């Protein structure tokens, strides 16, 4: 099987809280390879593409506002089964109930906002990964 790639984002809350290094350390300790990495301040158009599947949902506008609130670190990450492996490292979407030991479970919480600020994004399928890597790199 060819080595897989995924898109990881350290979202604006992770960058603003100074957690980029801690998150990268977990990714590197797991053994995945950093192929490319860049700081990006996405415009609305890029985020509309990235989050197209969520258009119309109640959290969609707050999500785009949050993602435009500061830079994200975009990472092209490689390894066997890295898509499901990073999703497992990240933990469940809601940081309040994400399992301890995961990035979201250990480092995230509910800040009382209309959008879940959960520190990281990871592609959820090979199709999403290919599409999202094209959007960010
Ligand atoms: P994930 O990021 O775990 O793939 P998702 O794709 O379902 O989750 O949603 C994208 C982002 O939108 C998520 O990281 C945080 C926000 N979000 C999702 N569901 C939400 C909800 N019910 N209320 C507030 N924000 C939500
Ligand atoms: Mg998702």
Query: How large is the average pLDDT for residues 63-80?
Result: 98
Ligand sitting nearest the alpha carbon of 117: 1
CATH number of 4-136: 3.30.70.141
The reply, when asked if residue 20 is annotated as ligand binding, is: no
| Residues 63, 58: Cα–Cα separation, whole Å | 9
Q: What are the strands of the beta sheet with 33-40, ordered from one edge?
A: 33-40, 72-79, 4-10, 120-122
DSSP-derived secondary structure letter, 56: T
CB 82 within 8 A of CB 5: yes
Q: What is the pTM of this model?
A: 0.98
CB 20 within 8 A of CB 14: yes
121 given a catalytic annotation: yes
Shortest-distance Cα residue to atom 3 of ligand 1: 93
Query: How large is the average pLDDT for residues 88-113?
Result: 98
ipTM entry: 0.98
The reply, when asked if residue 17 is annotated as ligand binding, is: no
The verdict on the CB of residue 117 being under 6 Å from ligand 1 is no
The structural domains of the chain, with segments of one domain joined by +, span 4-136
pLDDT of the residue at 29? 98
């Amino acid at each position: 099987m060819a080595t897989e790639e995924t898109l990881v984002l350290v979202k604006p809350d992770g960058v603003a809280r100074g957690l980029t290094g801690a998150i990268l350390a977990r990714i590197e300790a797991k053994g995945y390879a950093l192929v490319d990495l860049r700081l990006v301040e996405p415009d609305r158009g890029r985020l509309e593409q990235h989050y197209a599947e969520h258009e119309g949902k109640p959290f969609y506008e707050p999500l785009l506002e949050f993602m435009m609130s500061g830079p994200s670190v975009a990472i092209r990450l490689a390894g066997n089964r890295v898509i499901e492996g990073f999703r497992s490292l990240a933990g469940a979407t809601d940081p309040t109930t994400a399992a301890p030991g995961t990035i979201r479970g250990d480092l995230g919480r509910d800040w009382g906002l209309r959008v879940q600020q959960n520190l990281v994004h990871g592609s959820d399928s090979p199709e999403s990964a290919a599409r999202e890597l094209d959007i960010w790199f």
